[in-house]
């Protein structure tokens, strides 16, 4: 009888349920459900619509039943840094504020009063980003200290949904490391940092590794979806899952998980927490089997997604409008063709600048940056897109150069996984900018990486290397050479 495993992969714009199975040593995927992810403005903040996400999760579980393909195990992965607080009755305390919300502005100065940036990096190895959980909790303590006082549990977003499915609370390691509160060398919550910040110690419990069984569906969930399954921890941070799916050619390959964010880096056995590394703004995110993802977090396709939403008259937060909508519905291929038509436009922006994190208008933010820096201001859709593409390729080149300088290694190829690997124009620009051969694919890298942990836990494959070998044989990988 065919065994199925379910990856529930939720990104910033959508969630998808992908069934995985193994047939004759090859991995077979089937997308059975997809749902939109959206934000809402509540109580003065941009928040995740948790009811919408939960209904999406249940909808996909029911779709498996309708297909007659019941998963043996289920794993959930999402983005990092965001969390839910629960009270003594396990009810949410406050809203699930989204990381792009502006509440963390100035919180780095507050945190650095308690712990210097150099010491924080030496302990956690996590790059400074204002949306990290550490700054979110500092903002919450400043605005709503009563919520922290009332809270008895802290669960990252996937941990919370696992709790709703099973009634069991587990704090998963890979996602926890994105908080900037986990000691990189000890691989557990750093109690000194938590004490210095005046956060409740009781919110931070034992960390569980990918492969850990959370539990079975509760009776209420079994009744609603029509079956029971075992919930297991993948690398619940989506980048942690995506890196597991990289079918690297050799040890001289760099990795790029390309989606809303671009995460470019390598896997290391130990964290690099030197001052040189901090100043280069590299991060050491925890991975499955304690494999550290040493990478740089780059704004990524968020800019392109935002431009497309603006042109199509939608917004990433419900209720916001766009002045650039002209009635045409732009597809991603349309935007690529427009960029190609403006190949001679050479203005670039720093895609990692905070002005591009959550602007009211991405198009206006790009124009303003070019004007501020004395460059030609893009006017057409093609020029705007060409500016973004050039800017991303430039950051990819700089990230590879930074990796080489710090690790002392020369990289000869770049493996790109995730939805962004389908953009062959960006792949070519990336190969040209870095001088590396690009291997693009698989597309569903995050879901595959989620399934990797489930496959190994179930005995379908012996270890990570054998699973990666199967990935190479199971999915088309496109080669793009620099020119």
Catalytic annotation, residues: 238
Give the Cα separation of 444 and 238 in Å (integer). Answer: 11
For 63, 407, 414, 444, 460, the CA distances from 470, given in Å and listed in that order, are 27, 29, 19, 15, 11
Give the Cα separation of 211 and 111 in Å (integer). Answer: 33
Give the Cα separation of 453 and 470 in Å (integer). Answer: 14
According to DSSP H, which parts of 68-189 are helical? Answer: 107-114, 117-124, 133-143, 145-150, 157-166, 173-177
Looking up tokens 């900037």 gives 180
Give the Cα separation of 225 and 449 in Å (integer). Answer: 25
Strands (E), 168-325: 171-172, 182-183, 188-189, 207-208, 213-216, 230-232, 253-258, 262-268, 283-285, 292-298
Contact yes or no for 369/354 (Cβ under 8 A)? no
Give the Cα separation of 399 and 263 in Å (integer). Answer: 10
Instruction: Using DSSP, state whether 232 is helix, strand or coil.
Output: strand
291: which DSSP letter?
-
Question: 3-state SS of the chain: helix, strand, coil percent to 5?
Answer: 40, 20, 35
* Burial (CB count <10 Å: 0-12, 13-18, 19+), residue 239: buried
**233: its two tokens:** 């921890």
Contact yes or no for 90/83 (Cβ under 8 A)? no
CA atoms within 13 A on the CB side of 41: 8
Instruction: Using DSSP, state whether 15 is helix, strand or coil.
Output: strand
For 220, 349, 369, the CA distances from 353, given in Å and listed in that order, are 46, 8, 9
Among 13, 14, 27, 157, smallest CA distance to 448 is for 27
């Amino acid at each position: 009888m065919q065994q199925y495993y379910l990856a529930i992969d939720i990104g910033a714009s959508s969630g998808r349920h992908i069934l995985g199975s193994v047939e004759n040593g090859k991995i077979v995927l089937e997308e059975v459900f997809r749902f939109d992810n959206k934000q809402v403005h509540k109580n003065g903040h941009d928040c995740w619509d948790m009811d919408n996400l939960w209904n999406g999760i249940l909808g996909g579980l029911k779709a498996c039943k309708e297909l007659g393909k019941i998963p043996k195990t289920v794993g959930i992965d999402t983005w990092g840094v965001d969390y839910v607080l629960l009270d003594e009755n396990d009810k949410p305390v406050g809203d699930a504020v989204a990381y792009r919300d502006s509440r963390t502005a100035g919180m780095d100065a507050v945190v650095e009063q308690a712990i210097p940036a150099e010491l924080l990096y030496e302990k956690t190895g996590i790059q400074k980003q204002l949306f990290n959980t550490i700054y979110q909790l500092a903002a919450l303590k400043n605005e709503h200290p009563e919520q922290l006082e009332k809270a008895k549990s802290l669960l990252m977003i996937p941990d919370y949904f696992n709790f709703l499915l099973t009634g069991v609370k587990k704090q998963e390691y890979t996602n926890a490391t994105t908080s900037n509160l986990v000691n990189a060398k000890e691989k557990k919550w750093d109690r000194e940092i938590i004490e210095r910040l005046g956060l409740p110690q009781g919110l931070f419990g034992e960390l569980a590794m990918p492969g850990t069984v959370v539990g079975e569906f509760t009776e209420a969930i079994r009744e609603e979806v029509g079956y029971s399954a075992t919930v297991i921890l993948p690398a619940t941070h989506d980048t942690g899952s995506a890196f597991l799916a990289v079918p690297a050619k050799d040890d001289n390959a760099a990795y790029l998980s390309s989606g809303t964010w671009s995460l470019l880096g390598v896997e290391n056995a130990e964290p690099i927490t030197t001052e040189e590394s901090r100043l280069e703004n590299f991060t050491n995110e925890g991975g499955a089997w304690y494999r550290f993802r040493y990478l740089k977090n780059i704004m990524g396709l968020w800019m392109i997604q935002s431009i497309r939403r603006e042109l199509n008259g939608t917004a990433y937060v419900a209720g916001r409008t766009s002045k650039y909508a002209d009635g045409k519905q732009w597809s991603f291929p349309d935007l690529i063709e427009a960029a190609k038509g403006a190949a001679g436009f050479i203005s670039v922006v720093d895609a990692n600048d905070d002005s591009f994190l959550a602007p009211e208008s991405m198009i206006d933010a790009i124009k303003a940056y070019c004007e501020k820096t004395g460059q030609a201001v893009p006017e057409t859709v093609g020029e705007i897109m060409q500016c973004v593409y050039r800017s991303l390729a430039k950051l990819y080149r700089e990230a590879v150069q930074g990796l080489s300088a710090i690790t002392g290694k020369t990289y000869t190829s770049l493996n790109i996984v995730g939805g962004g690997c389908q953009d062959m124009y960006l792949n070519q620009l990336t190969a040209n900018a870095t001088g590396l051969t690009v291997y693009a694919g698989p597309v569903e890298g995050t879901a595959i990486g989620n399934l990797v942990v489930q496959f190994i836990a179930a005995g379908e494959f012996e270890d990570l290397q054998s699973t990666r070998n199967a990935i190479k044989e199971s999915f088309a990988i496109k080669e793009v050479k620099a020119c």
